[in-house]
Amino acid sequence: MNYKPIIIVAGEPRSIFLEIFFKTLKIKKFKSPIILLASKKLVLLQMKMLNFNFTINEIELKKDKDFKLDKNKINLINIDLKNYSLSKKISSSSNSYIKKSFDIALNLIDKKISNKLINGPISKKTFLKKKFLGITEYLAYKTKTKKYVMLIYNKNLSVSPITTHLPLKNVYKNINKNDIKDKIILIKNFFEKILNKKTIVAVTGLNPHCESVNSFNEDEKIVMPAIKSLKKIGLNVSGPWPADTLFLKQNRKKYNLIVGMYHDQVLTPIKTLFEYNAINITLGLPFLRVSPDHGTNEKMFGKNISNPQSLIKAIEFLDK
C-alpha cells in the first residue's frame, strides 16, 4: 500500500519539539514516510546537544514531484534559519523561518504530495502578533477556510471549545447559535466519515450552573436554541450542562464528545484525564491537520526530559 507522506513543520526553533521528534523516531516505526521542514543546522545542533544520531536525507524542493524518501532517515527540507544559536530566546527573529515552513508545507499539499500536516508549537505572542488567535485561525486564513473547529481527540472522550484563545471577557460576545450548530455538525461529520463513529454529544453552558444574575442568560437564549435545532436534524446531543459536574466519571461516560463554550472549560479536564494521550485536530481545512497537545515549553528546552507521547499519537492518527 502506498502511504502519503506526513509533512511536519518543526515550528519554533527554541522549543521541545525536535527533542520529542527524535524520541518518537527512536520509539516507533511508522508506515507513512515523514517529511520534516526545519533548519538542517538546528536539527544537527539539537541532535548533538541531546545525544541523538540520525542520518539526514535532504530533499531538494525542485525535485518535489519525485521525492526519494527513506523511512530509516530524517527526510528533511532545509529551511534557512539565519544567525541562530541554541542560546537565543524565543523572539520575532524566527518569524520568517516559521512562515516559510508553513508556506512550503501548504504548497506541497496543494501539489497533492500529501494531505497530512503536523506542526510543532509556535509562539502566539511573537509569530501571530495578535493578528490571529492561534495556528488554527492562521491556517484557516491561509487556506481561505470559513468554517472550522478545534477538536481535542481521544478515542474514549473528545472535547471541542466553541471559542479558542480568547480572553474570558470576550467569550460571551463570540458565541452564537449558528456557530455552535456549524461546529458540532463539522465534528459529527468527521466522526462518521473518518472515525466511523456516531457522536454522542454533551454541550456545556457558558455560565456557572447554567445560571446568570443578568437578565440575558446566554445558556437559555443561545446554547439551548442551538441544541434544539441540532436535535431536529437528528443529532444525539444534550445540554446545556453545568461544566463543573459534567466531567465527573458517572456523567462523562455517557458521551464521546463534550463541547464547551471556551478553551479552558474543556481543555483543562481533558488534559487532567488523559495528559499526553490527546491530539489537537483542526476540522474543516482541505487537509488533515494535527498538532501535539503541548506548547513550546522553553523552560524545558535542552533538558531531554520531555514526553513524546502526544507526538506519537499525532503521527499514529495520520499513519494510514
Domain at 241, CATH number: 3.40.718.10
pLDDT at 1: 53
Asked if residue 195 and residue 77 are part of one domain, the reply reads no
Asked if residue 301 and residue 249 are part of one domain, the reply reads no
**What is the rounded CA–CA span in Å between residue 126 and residue 168?**
21
Asked if residue 163 and residue 48 are part of one domain, the reply reads no
Quick one: which of 11, 21, 77, 9 has its CA closest to 46? Answer: 21
Asked if residue 251 and residue 168 are part of one domain, the reply reads yes
Asked if residue 114 and residue 2 are part of one domain, the reply reads yes
Asked if residue 289 and residue 272 are part of one domain, the reply reads no
pLDDT at 115: 95
**What is the rounded CA–CA span in Å between residue 91 and residue 93?**
5
From the first residue on, what is the mean pLDDT of each consecutive set of 10 residues in the chain (320 residues)? Answer: 87 91 94 95 93 93 71 92 74 88 96 94 83 90 95 95 93 96 97 95 95 86 97 97 96 97 96 88 95 74 85 92
Domain count within the chain: 2
Asked if residue 268 and residue 289 are part of one domain, the reply reads no
Asked if residue 289 and residue 265 are part of one domain, the reply reads no
pLDDT at 312: 93
Q: Which domain holds residue 164?
A: 148-276
Asked if residue 260 and residue 316 are part of one domain, the reply reads no
Distances in Å between the Cα of 287 and the Cα atoms of 109, 168, 179, 254, 316 are 8, 30, 21, 31, 16
Asked if residue 9 and residue 139 are part of one domain, the reply reads yes
Peptide bond preceding 240 in cis form (omega within 30 of 0): yes
With beta carbons less than 8 A apart as the criterion, state whether 120 and 292 touch. Answer: yes
Asked if residue 291 and residue 200 are part of one domain, the reply reads no
pLDDT at 2: 66
pLDDT at 66: 66
With beta carbons less than 8 A apart as the criterion, state whether 209 and 219 touch. Answer: no
Asked if residue 308 and residue 196 are part of one domain, the reply reads no
CB within 8 A of 274, min separation 6: which ones?
Answer: 154, 156, 157
